[in-house]
Amino acid sequence: MLFPESFQKLFVTLSTTQSASDRPPVKIFALRHSPSQLSILTPSERPRKVLLLLHGYPQNHTLYYETVQELWKAGMLEQWDVVIPDLPGYGRSTKIPSMDGSHYENSKRAIAADCVALIDTMYSPGQRFIVAGHDRGARVAYRMAKDFRDRILGICLMEIIPTRMMFQKMNSMNNHQLTLNTYHWIFLAQPPTLPETLIGASSDYYFSHTIESWTGPRYRGNLDPIAVASWVEQYRNPAVLTGSLEDYRAGASIDLEHDEEDEKSGKAVVDCPLLILHTREFKAQHKDVVDIWEPLGSNGVIVKQVGDDQVGHFLPIEAAAEAIPELITWMNEIVQ
């Protein structure tokens, strides 16, 4: 069992007022933990402390199995609600892509709105919360902090720099090493049905290779097999494969448009506390992580490197013992 029994499995269907009325409703699968001492209270009496955990590519909610163990060991599950969804389009969550070619339905703006609607449905409209995201989930969290400023108490972003800057860094510097290491940004963003056809021909191989090559030496071959199987097997579903590709297509198009609008209007800076966690390998690729993020938060920015040279991309698992205590300390400073 990857998660404690206190984590309930839920399917939440967003109402048509939360998603476009002319489209099938978004259905989100999520795990939800609520502290046992709150169960006897009525909803209006519950002093909710809510943490939303958002996974990245190519995972689903099971990315956070080690994170939850660290939260449990620190006693955080006695105080905090924890919600861990499959992002819309991934895992068991559904999302119908845009039919007009805009990729809007899989944009970070749309997915962020879906995740806020999930919290509204599980709790009540206006419930404030902390968001921690890794990889693509961190990009959703950053967008959420810009679009829902009155709802987000703080964001923890793991292993990312802003999308526009990632594309700018894919150039001839350092013998094209960043470009080669992030080739999937370009490949996955290609129009239908090229990547669907190529990956679909052997999706188990493609995702097994991706996971292994992105894992650091210490955990390579030692990730939980149940979690790894859930990551690989989800892509046998063509809808999930397309959902992940639409995520990257949005990242190379409409997400950039939204980010440019933010910069022009002065909304790129978030006004909630900002915690940036990154690995040593990430720092080697992006030596200016601090310089990038410090100007983008107006209410305190903390940038921390976690893990050693044996840690790869999957920070919430590979560096959980070091990273999650940093997250916990930061959360407790925000919410007393």
Enzyme catalytic residues? 135, 313
Report the amino acid identity of residue 32.
R
Displacement of CA 59 from its chain's centroid (Å): 9
- In which region does residue 135 sit, left (phi positive, over 0), alpha (psi from -120 to 50) or beta (all else)? left
CA gap 257, 219 in Å, rounded: 37
Closest CA to 329 of 61, 70, 35, 59: 70
Closest CA to 97 of 198, 244, 199: 244
CA gap 69, 75 in Å, rounded: 10
| Span between the terminal Cα atoms of the chain, in Å | 32
DSSP string, 209-233: HHHHHHS-TTTTTTS-HHHHHHHHH
Pairing of strands 129-134, 274-278: unpaired
Element (H, E) at 141: helix 136-147
The answer, yes or no, to whether the previous bond of 217 is cis (omega within 30 of 0) is no
Q: Which residues pair with 85 in a beta bridge?
A: 30
**CA separation (Å) from 70 to 63, 175, 289, 321, 328?**
13, 39, 26, 7, 9
Sheet holding 152-158, edge to edge: 7-13, 27-33, 81-85, 50-54, 129-134, 152-158, 274-278, 301-305
Closest CA to 155 of 253, 320, 245, 270: 270
